[in-house]
Structure 1
């Protein structure tokens, strides 16, 4: 079981992630001076209901495991960059012909976050107290 101090530190970082941006479990660990991304995930599983849990994702860019459908409305409302994985690539004729395919893919949880655009940079103040 994570210590109360660890839980408080994790939740404190998650509360400060701006809407439309994400951090990985490892990023949150780095921000609090820990190398325990699985412990960060455990904290969110046990206590994350009170914070914007959808803003913490695996390094793969997938939504939190088992929560793709619950997280999607949050990502859409906040303008978080995402892309459908079960749909044709943007800019192709197949993609232009099928916005419905993209919508179906998103609803089915077949999407990833575009980490290159959504991930909070290491220059953000959240990392201010950690020597990177």
Structure 2
């Protein structure tokens, strides 16, 4: 289990979301809700989605393509330009996508609650 250190400058919710998303390994995905739950805001999956939508404005690369909805559906793909880019990025990493849905979702799902500890 890796420890995620939340520094003083990263205390705002979006910054914490970006820290978690940077930890998602290549070839794995997680959900908006799993990130929110890990950060202690179980009802804030939508805010995680807003953070992903704003992630393209960050200086550091945020692998937003690795965040999908709780059923493995690529609900955020319309925020990529072009929308097919999310699928291309996932498939490049070995994630199989069919009809905008991650195949074998349970096998590629990365749960931050299991994989990370927050400090």
Give me the TM-score of the superposition, normalised by structure 1: 0.66
* Alpha-carbon spacing, 1:48–1:14, altered in 2? closer, same or farther (3 Å): farther
Match of 1:120 among 104, 107, 110: 110
Q: Could you say which residue in structure 2 is the equivalent of 1:24?
A: 31
Which has the larger helix fraction? Answer: 1
Q: Structure 1 stretches of 5 or more lacking a match?
A: 85-109
Q: Which structure is richer in relative contact order (CA contacts within 8 A, separation 6 or more)?
A: 2
C-alpha distance in structure 2 between counterparts of 1:22 and 1:6, whole Å:
20
- Aligned residue pair count: 101
Larger radius of gyration: 1
Which has the larger strand fraction? Answer: 2
Aligned pairs (5 A) from 1:1-132:
5-35=12-42, 36-48=44-56, 50-63=61-74, 64-66=76-78, 67=80, 68-82=83-97, 84=98, 110-114=99-103, 115-121=105-111, 124-126=114-116, 128-129=117-118
Kindly report structure 1 stretches of 4+ aligned residues shifted beyond 4 Å: none
Give me the TM-score of the superposition, normalised by structure 2: 0.72
